Amino acid sequence: MSNKEEFEKLREQCTQCKKCRLCETRHNVVFGVGISDAEVMFIGEGPGENEDLQGEPFVGRGGKLLDKMLEAIDLDRHKNIYIANIVKCRPPQNRDPAPDEQEECIKWLRAQFKVLRPKIIVCLGRIAAAKIIKPDIKIMKEHGQFFEKGGVLMMPVLHPAALLRNPNNKPAAFEDFLRLQEKIKEICTHTYNQ
């Protein structure tokens, strides 16, 4: 089966998921967006209101900012990357996803990871970085650094919503994206050559 077919099968299964309480309040499962052979995978925390209504990650104000930052380093959610979240359903009132919800839902993310086998993972914000990179991550101190785990490079970056709240951090966040661009040029084979 091709990556694309495997993703479609997984999406269908995920859309039916009722493994945690978040299924009771969701409008849509937000499975992910991007290309099925992406070398670079972005991982956020969980859907907000707009994402829940539209069924796509990062489509609100934070998402617009993310798209702008991606564009600045020639990345595009429809052309050369993949974007998903730790939890696929919106936590009510945008609360942090509970540990048991994250634990249950991360199985879908692991399945996505197994299909993609990305070379680089970018964690958007503390919650994703704590779950994927290390539980005691200090996001303000360690954003922009690469961590290696099982042959995959992982970089925590500031969450776009945090940048909207605190625009003073935008230049530092942009520097992280430039480092990411350099690393992609160094180790990825087709991200910039589609």
Residues 35-64 that bind ligand URA (CB under 6 A): 44-48, 51, 57-58, 62
- Binding mask 118-147 toward ligand URA (x if CB under 6 A, else -) reads ------x-----------------------
Q: Which uninterrupted H or E stretch holds 122?
A: strand 120-124
Residue 48 Cβ vs ligand URA, minimum distance, rounded to whole Å: 4
The token pair that represents 124 in the structure block: 């958007």
Give residues with Cβ within 8 angstroms of 48, minimum separation 6.
Answer: 60, 62, 90, 94
CA-CA distance, 192 to 71, in Å (whole number)?
A: 12
Give residues with Cβ within 8 angstroms of 99, minimum separation 6.
Answer: none
CA-CA distance, 188 to 186, in Å (whole number)?
A: 6
Residues in the chain: 194
- Binding mask 83-122 toward ligand URA (x if CB under 6 A, else -) reads --x-------------------------------------
Number of residues that bind ligand URA (CB under 6 A): 11
Nearer to ligand URA, 46 or 156 (CB): 46
- Residues found near ligand URA in the complex (CB under 6 A): 44-48, 51, 57-58, 62, 85, 124
